[in-house]
Structure 1
Amino acid sequence: MRLGGRLAAAIEVLSDVEARRRPVADALKDWGLAHRFAGSGDRAAIGNIVYDALRKKRSYGFRMGDEGAAALGFAAVLDGLGMETAELAAALDGDRFAPAMPGDDQVGRFGGADLSEAPDAVRADVPDWIAARLEASLGDGWVEEAAALSTRPPLDLRVNTLKADRDKVVKALAPFDATASDLAPEGIRIAAIEGAGRHPNVQVEAGFQKGWFEVQDEGSQLAALLSGAAPGEQVLDLCAGAGGKSLALAAMMENTGQIHAADSDRHRLAPIHERLARAGSRNVQVHDPREDMAGLIGSMDLTLVDAPCTGSGTWRRRPDAKWRLSENALAKRIEEQDAVLDRAARFVRPGGRLAYVTCSLIADENAARIAAFLERHAGEGFAVADTGARWAAMLPEAIERCRVRDLAGGSVITMTPKLTGTDGFFFALLERAG
């Protein structure tokens, strides 16, 4: 497919996403199934245009004077591919599948618009209703922090130290320009794609099949490390999902002790079995959602809650989610977070720890949930640990690379794309008196 056909397809997908308010991944998949002539390179290029348009929907709309699918598609090509208007017009000329070029007034506006004159929510590329919440969470620099969620993300991997070391995996992935991560000691990064490029499918690589590495954002890796899981401990991963953090904890614990992986949704949990086998993780016991776990109450050294959340910290990877998010959905997530924290508390032994993690940058889901938990569980011996000090001890060269907030005598941290170079993550650690 030529650029015109790819752009027309991207506009079609964007129109579908807007009209049906459906996940962009589903819309792209359906388009591919209906247009089997399109090769993998075509599908990747179309996906780039669609995702770029959704990441910067408001700033592109401001610059084009139009938030329609066609305007956003053209903006994404001009910006994402770094093309000049005349260059794009020449590329589309004579292509019968290409959409009509916007008028000179619109493309001129796109090139000359001054985003500094736009409202904060537009410059941040977020819905109006969420702007105040992000400002409360991130402070004076919230616009720049939120705008960083509109950039293309890197591909992050975690070396499985049960089977390999980082040098070995970096060497195996050398054709993809893989490098050691800045912060996570077992992390590897493949830089964000540029132009019409695409990330490699690392899951077909021999190293992945052998269990040498897993795909995991560097922020998620750091959250697992901050939990302090140690060899021989009893650990409960209460919202294990597909098992990413359980796998990281198993390697940290050197396949000793016991990790209990549980999730309320068996569909989310299903992939964990294959992943554990490939990684050689032998100290993980997977619990069916219907299973009675009463025998674990009061016996865990560490209970990890990777809580259900809005996912605002992952908007680089799932930009359509920010336009579907509603205040009702946020309220529902807050209820779920309180409920899972209350459940988790029952499993923590005296002297044990409760780690709370979200991939959200909204304070209502983060520090506010910890404060509310402490009120509900007053007298049960829970106290907020000094996570900022833990970060400084773990990464003394990167003390300023996360946001530290004092809370109830301890501290909690937030990682962001702009500051940490990761997805957005919140981490709090509660210690229970012995």
Structure 2
Amino acid sequence: MRPERLAANLDARQLALTVLRQWEQNHQPLDEVLDCHLTGPSTVDTRLATELVYGVVRRMGTLDWRLNSLLKQPLTKLPPVIALILRIGAYQLLYLDRIPASAAVHEAVEQAKRHGHAGTVKLTNAVLRSLQRAGDTTPLPEDPNMRLAATASVPPWLAKRWIPRYGEAEATTLARAMIQQAPQHLRVNMLRTGPPAVLAAFTAADIAAEALSPFAEGIHVLPGSGISGWPGFTEGWWYVQDLGSMAVAHAVAPRPGDTVIDLCAAPGGKTTHMAALMADEGRILAVDMQARRLERVQENVQRLGITCIETRVGDAATLVPDRLADRVLVDAPCSGLGVMRRKPDIRWRVTTETLKAILPVQQAILRAAAAWVKPGGILVYSTCSTEPEENGAQIAAFLADYPEFEAVAMPDTFPDEWLAGQPLGQVSLLPPRHGSDGFFIARMQRRKA
């Protein structure tokens, strides 16, 4: 089903409902469906619609738990459009204090009139008014996995993984961190300017920002300003990039004059970061399977004023490079479970089956990349996943089959507290512990002949 262009006069709730219906039907990434429709200037309605769309998806496990407690039949038995109307109404009642409860209920009932019948209109009104009266009195599930799924909106299959791994308290902390909006991090392009100049420009524009440890080029922009108002974009002063993503380039630690191969490179954040770390001296071959995605890399390369990057369309698992490299980065395709703060729909798109399906792809790319590393060269493997079979298990299997490689320590730019308790050459980053997205990074070296 092709997304329909939304009429300009749709109000926020109808806009949100239409986007969510198309997301459910198309199984596309949520941001793509939303961006398809929000092409004009930002308005009060589009901002509220965006909040409703992301909020409903982010909190859907909790919303469904609260609504199911008030329904005689499960939410899944209702017409899908009515279920979405109830979720949108419930999100406003539970999480948007600035919207009067009466308005949230009234608008939901009006939507039910347009999309349902007398029975579903009556049900919508009754359920949302009951939710308004109930407050926080819904009994918690006794089962720890279902309790985590209900209160922190993670799918039950993921709760069953996290609680044994982290314990219920830490799993709850992690899950709750994953339903918060992600912080706004950016990386200063040190080829063009430095953090003091960027911070001064932000201060002059009345935008609150601060240095972001542990990397000198990192900046944290405090909540309250949209990216469209940040100075220095056109000038190529910075690139929006999470702290965890910055750590990947620091693990590669390219030097001026190095030959670097970056696999699965789009959209180019890590690629351009490595170019800056090597002072734009040397050669970076950025590989991706999709030409369209490599166009984004080229756009970023041009904006940031970088000359050492060339792009190539190709399958990372079968591509033959024209020379061996000093550094190879395998930024592997993965489940993306570490970036649920930024892409909340991932929690509902990924399953145990899709997780299993990605493992041989990761393995094939990593093993192909091994042939491209010079003796003494560095191979870095990274994912934005929390799950061990995508991370440490892949490295253990690789090192067992490729004895010419060994794990080596992370560079000195990594703080000791990040490395404490971690295997040699590995770091796992999590939002509540490190303030970053969820990332895994492994650093290996090909033994010299």
**Alignment of 1:28 onto 2:34:** yes
- Counterpart of 1:412 in structure 2 is 426
Provide, for residues 69-99 of structure 1, a one-character-per-residue CA deviation record: whole Å limited to 9, x for no partner: 2332233323443358xx3215776999677
With a CA cutoff of 8 Å and minimum separation of 6, indicate the structure with the bigger relative contact order: 1
Q: Which amino acid aligns with 1:176?
A: I
Q: What is the deviation of 1:192?
A: 4.4
Provide, for residues 139-163 of structure 1, a one-character-per-residue CA deviation record: whole Å limited to 9, x for no partner: 5522321221111112221100000
Structure 1 residues 92 and 201, CA, compared in 2 at 3 Å: closer, same or farther?
A: farther
Name which of 4, 11, 15 aligns with 1:9.
Answer: 15
Question: What is the CA–CA distance in structure 1 between the aligned matches of 2:189 and 2:177, rounded to whole Å?
Answer: 29
**Alignment of 1:244 onto 2:244:** no
Question: What is the CA–CA distance in structure 2 between the aligned matches of 1:229 and 1:345, rounded to whole Å?
Answer: 17
* Superposition RMSD in Å: 3.0
Q: What is the deviation of 1:132?
A: 3.1
Question: What is the CA–CA distance in structure 2 between the aligned matches of 1:77 and 1:94, rounded to whole Å?
Answer: 11
Question: What is the CA–CA distance in structure 2 between the aligned matches of 1:95 and 1:22, rounded to whole Å?
Answer: 25
Name which of 206, 215, 237 aligns with 1:212.
Answer: 237
Q: What is the deviation of 1:220?
A: 0.4
Question: What is the CA–CA distance in structure 2 between the aligned matches of 1:94 and 1:295, rounded to whole Å?
Answer: 62
Question: What is the CA–CA distance in structure 1 between the aligned matches of 2:107 and 2:248, rounded to whole Å?
Answer: 52
Structure 1 residues 107 and 253, CA, compared in 2 at 3 Å: closer, same or farther?
A: same
Identity %: 30
Q: What is the deviation of 1:344?
A: 0.8
Greater CA drift, 23-32 or 346-355: 23-32
> Are the aligned partners of 2:105 and 2:129 in contact in 1 as well (CA < 8 Å)?
no
Question: What is the CA–CA distance in structure 2 between the aligned matches of 1:305 and 1:94, rounded to whole Å?
Answer: 49
> Are the aligned partners of 1:121 and 1:131 in contact in 2 as well (CA < 8 Å)?
yes
Q: What is the deviation of 1:321?
A: 1.9
Name which of 247, 250, 253 aligns with 1:222.
Answer: 247
Q: Secondary structure at the match of 1:271?
A: helix
Q: Which amino acid aligns with 1:130?
A: L
Name which of 417, 435, 440 aligns with 1:426.
Answer: 440
Question: What is the CA–CA distance in structure 2 between the aligned matches of 1:70 and 1:182, rounded to whole Å?
Answer: 42
Question: What is the CA–CA distance in structure 1 between the aligned matches of 2:241 and 2:393, rounded to whole Å?
Answer: 27
- Counterpart of 1:57 in structure 2 is 60
Q: What is the deviation of 1:133?
A: 3.3
Question: What is the CA–CA distance in structure 1 between the aligned matches of 2:108 and 2:165, rounded to whole Å?
Answer: 48
**Alignment of 1:383 onto 2:383:** no
Map residues 35-434 of structure 1 onto 2, 5 A cutoff: 39-65=42-68, 68-83=83-98, 87-89=100-102, 102-113=127-138, 119-135=147-163, 138=166, 141-174=170-203, 175-192=206-223, 199-201=226-228, 207-289=232-314, 293-296=320-323, 299-377=324-402, 379=403, 381-387=404-410, 390=411, 393-396=412-415, 399-400=416-417, 404-406=421-423, 410-434=424-448
Provide, for residues 312-365 of structure 1, a one-character-per-residue CA deviation record: whole Å limited to 9, x for no partner: 111111111221112232122111100110111011111111101101111111
> Are the aligned partners of 1:234 and 1:300 in contact in 2 as well (CA < 8 Å)?
yes
Question: What is the CA–CA distance in structure 2 between the aligned matches of 1:137 and 1:350, rounded to whole Å?
Answer: 37
Q: Which amino acid aligns with 2:406?
A: A
> Are the aligned partners of 2:285 and 2:309 in contact in 1 as well (CA < 8 Å)?
yes
> Are the aligned partners of 2:89 and 2:104 in contact in 1 as well (CA < 8 Å)?
no
Structure 1 residues 285 and 90, CA, compared in 2 at 3 Å: closer, same or farther?
A: closer
Q: Which amino acid aligns with 1:232?
A: G
Q: Which consecutive unaligned segments of at least 5 residues does structure 1 have?
A: none
> Are the aligned partners of 1:384 and 1:430 in contact in 2 as well (CA < 8 Å)?
yes
Q: Secondary structure at the match of 1:413?
A: strand
TM-score by length of 1: 0.84
Question: What is the CA–CA distance in structure 1 between the aligned matches of 2:290 and 2:108, rounded to whole Å?
Answer: 48
Q: What is the deviation of 1:199?
A: 2.7
Greater CA drift, 299-308 or 111-120: 111-120
Q: Which consecutive unaligned segments of at least 5 residues does structure 2 have?
A: 1-9, 70-74, 76-82, 113-123
Q: Secondary structure at the match of 1:261?
A: strand
Q: Secondary structure at the match of 1:112?
A: coil
TM-score by length of 2: 0.82
Structure 1 residues 93 and 147, CA, compared in 2 at 3 Å: closer, same or farther?
A: closer
Greater CA drift, 241-250 or 129-138: 129-138
Question: What is the CA–CA distance in structure 2 between the aligned matches of 1:402 and 1:79, rounded to whole Å?
Answer: 39
> Are the aligned partners of 2:289 and 2:314 in contact in 1 as well (CA < 8 Å)?
yes
Q: Secondary structure at the match of 2:92?
A: helix
Q: Which amino acid aligns with 1:188?
A: I
